[in-house]
């Protein structure tokens, strides 16, 4: 805060008041901690939080009249520059709140969109964020021209102002169409890449989980990748696929955008092609924070499963991975094992139990492959080429007078094709 006579520090974070309307009896303290973390990631300082308990938010002003006046006085007293609503506002609610509070008001969706805009680095990520922002702003465009609304319509309102509003809408819709077309091209390229992975029978594992639970750190630890692991929500937006090897077999691991409570629909829609990387996985590793309280852990998993349901990924086989056990003592570890008996407890930071995780992944895929010896005649060179192209690991090869003897881990779907060449007596 600048002293009298000083100019404000342009690098100082904005000061915000967080507002939430919750049903009676619901404790919002844990929920608001998440919004505080979102704002920290967006470089905004939370100076106060306010909760109003009511059956449902006010349809026009989100808050009731009394609480609205209380927030207005509070924001003025503490010098807040923005009021943040931990919910998605309708355009009408946002306009009325700004009129009543005489302050800038942003909702949960706007905060998350701002963070995504900061963290989008690839061309695809930037297009996805732009699409979500355009969709969000198009619904609120009339608020940018509310001086026209005050004229009441009719005489005096027709002309360049109204034409500009319609022109802006047309430009926004045209841009939305262009961005969607570009994203369809990206999605088509992704489909080609997925098809290539399916053709080579590469086992594919997708990481899914709440944002900031260490998915990217786990990807780095498993595969030796160098994905950014800064301690910020939504640090990773763009999907990254890397491989690790276990018993001579390569496994592809894909890290995707993290999930969060009440992830805005605009983002689910805009990031559809990215989230579809989750759908392409043969196995989902559901990564969660072992150091969180049980209530927080259950809340995170509920948020993740909600998004998985939304993108129709709930039927993909799942393995729960409880990360950050380096922050948990032995008593808490026993409690976690009792409550989540099928989970793997790991520390991506220290490497603890990563070998067990790799073994569990290999065990899941084990019945998809058969260890087999094949004797391929020299005049069947095409079959040998096809074997290499299938991606099946070939552990040995020997040239003999009557053909090529190879030992391989063969995908079961190819077993009938090579049955006649078996040389292992099985």
Quote the CA–CA distance of 171 and 134 in Å, as a whole number: 10
Q: For the ranges 4-13, 21-30, 171-180, 249-258, which has the lowest average pLDDT? A: 4-13
Q: What confidence score (pLDDT) does residue 335 get?
A: 94
Pick 205 or 412 by higher pLDDT.
205
The pLDDT of residue 199 is above 60: no
As a whole number, mean pLDDT of residues 14-19 equals: 91
The pLDDT of residue 332 is above 70: yes
Quote the CA–CA distance of 162 and 144 in Å, as a whole number: 12
Extended beta strands in 67-113, E state: 82-85, 104-107
CA distances to 258, 296, 298, 302, 316 from 305, rounded to whole Å, are 12, 14, 10, 5, 12
Q: What confidence score (pLDDT) does residue 35 get?
A: 87
Q: How confident is the model at residue 200 (pLDDT cuts 50, 70, 90)?
A: low
Per residue in 120-153, pLDDT tens?
Answer: 777 777 888 888 888 888 877 755 544 444 444 4
Q: What confidence score (pLDDT) does residue 417 get?
A: 85
Quote the CA–CA distance of 333 and 336 in Å, as a whole number: 5
CA distances to 65, 206, 224, 304, 353 from 286, rounded to whole Å, are 43, 9, 20, 8, 16
Q: What confidence score (pLDDT) does residue 3 get?
A: 44
Q: Report the percentage of the chain scoring pLDDT > 70.
A: 80
Pick 352 or 391 by higher pLDDT.
352
Q: What confidence score (pLDDT) does residue 150 get?
A: 42
Q: For the ranges 83-97, 162-176, 240-254, 323-337, which has the lowest average pLDDT? A: 162-176
Tokens 């520059």 locate to: 81
Quote the CA–CA distance of 109 and 129 in Å, as a whole number: 12
Residues 6+ apart with CB under 8 A from 33: none
Q: For the ranges 4-8, 20-24, 123-127, 285-289, which has the lowest average pLDDT? A: 4-8
Pick 283 or 12 by higher pLDDT.
283
Per residue in 219-239, pLDDT tens?
Answer: 999 988 776 555 555 555 566
Q: How confident is the model at residue 31 (pLDDT cuts 50, 70, 90)?
A: confident
Per residue in 262-304, pLDDT tens?
Answer: 776 666 666 665 566 666 678 889 999 999 888 888 888 888 8
The pair phi, psi for residue 289, each rounded to 5°, is -90, 110
Per residue in 165-194, pLDDT tens?
Answer: 677 778 888 888 888 888 788 777 766 665
Sign (positive or negative) of CA dihedral 62, 64, 66, 67 = negative
Pick 51 or 202 by higher pLDDT.
51
The pLDDT of residue 426 is above 60: no
Q: What confidence score (pLDDT) does residue 382 get?
A: 86
Token digits for 309?
Answer: 């349901």
Quote the CA–CA distance of 32 and 19 in Å, as a whole number: 9
As a whole number, mean pLDDT of residues 204-230 equals: 82
Q: How would DSSP label each residue in 169-204?
A: HHHHHHHHHHHHHHHHHHHHHHHHHHHHHHHTT--E
Per residue in 97-110, pLDDT tens?
Answer: 999 998 899 999 88
As a whole number, mean pLDDT of residues 38-47 equals: 88
Quote the CA–CA distance of 400 and 169 in Å, as a whole number: 73
What radius of gyration, in Å, describes the C-alpha atoms of the chain? 27
Residues 6+ apart with CB under 8 A from 400: 375
Token digits for 282?
Answer: 């043969």
Q: What confidence score (pLDDT) does residue 1 get?
A: 40
As a whole number, mean pLDDT of residues 299-315 equals: 80
Instruction: Tell me what the pLDDT averaged over the chain comes to.
Output: 80
Q: How would DSSP label each residue in 353-385?
A: THHHHHHHHHHHHGGGEEEEEEEE-GGGHHHHH
Quote the CA–CA distance of 396 and 147 in Å, as a whole number: 77
């Amino acid at each position: 805060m600048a002293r009298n006579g000083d100019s404000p520090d342009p690098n100082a974070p904005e000061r915000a008041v967080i507002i939430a309307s919750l049903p009676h009896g619901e404790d919002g303290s844990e929920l608001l901690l998440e919004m505080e973390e979102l704002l920290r990631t967006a470089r905004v300082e939370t100076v106060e939080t306010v909760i109003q308990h009511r059956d449902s938010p006010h349809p026009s002003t989100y808050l009731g009249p009394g609480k609205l006046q209380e927030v207005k006085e509070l924001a003025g007293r503490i010098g807040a520059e923005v009021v943040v609503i931990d919910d998605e506002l309708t355009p009408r609610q946002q306009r009325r709140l700004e009129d009543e509070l005489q302050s800038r008001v942003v909702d949960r969706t706007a905060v998350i969109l701002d963070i995504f805009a900061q963290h989008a680095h690839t061309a695809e990520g930037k297009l996805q964020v732009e699409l979500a922002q355009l969709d969000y702003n198009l619904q609120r465009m009339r608020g940018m021209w509310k001086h026209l609304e005050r004229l009441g319509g009719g005489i005096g309102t027709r002309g360049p102002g109204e034409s500009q509003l319609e022109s802006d809408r047309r430009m926004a819709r045209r841009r939305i169409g262009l961005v969607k077309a570009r994203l369809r091209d990206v999605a088509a390229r992704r489909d080609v890449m997925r098809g290539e992975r399916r053709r080579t029978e590469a086992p594919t594992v997708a990481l899914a989980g709440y944002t900031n639970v260490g998915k990217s750190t786990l990807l780095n630890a498993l595969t030796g990748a160098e994905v950014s692991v800064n301690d910020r929500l939504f640090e990773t937006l763009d999907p990254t696929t890397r491989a690790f090897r276990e018993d001579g077999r390569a496994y592809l691991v894909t890290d995707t955008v993290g999930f969060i409570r009440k992830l805005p629909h605009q983002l689910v829609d805009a990031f559809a092609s990215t989230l579809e990387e989750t759908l392409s996985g043969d196995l989902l590793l559901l990564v969660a924070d072992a150091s969180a309280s049980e209530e927080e852990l259950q809340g995170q998993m509920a948020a993740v499963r909600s998004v998985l349901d939304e993108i129709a990924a709930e039927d993909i086989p799942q393995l729960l991975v409880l990360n950050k056990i380096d922050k948990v003592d032995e008593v808490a570890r026993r409690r976690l094992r009792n409550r989540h008996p099928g989970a793997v407890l790991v520390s991506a930071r220290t490497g603890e139990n990563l070998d067990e995780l790799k073994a569990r992944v290999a065990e899941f895929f084990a019945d998809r492959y058969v260890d087999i010896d094949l004797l391929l005649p020299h005049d069947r060179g095409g079959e040998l080429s096809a074997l290499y192209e299938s991606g099946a690991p070939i552990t040995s090869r020997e040239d003999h007078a009557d053909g090529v003897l190879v030992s391989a881990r063969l995908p079961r779907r190819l077993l009938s094709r090579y049955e006649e060449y078996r040389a292992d007596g099985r």
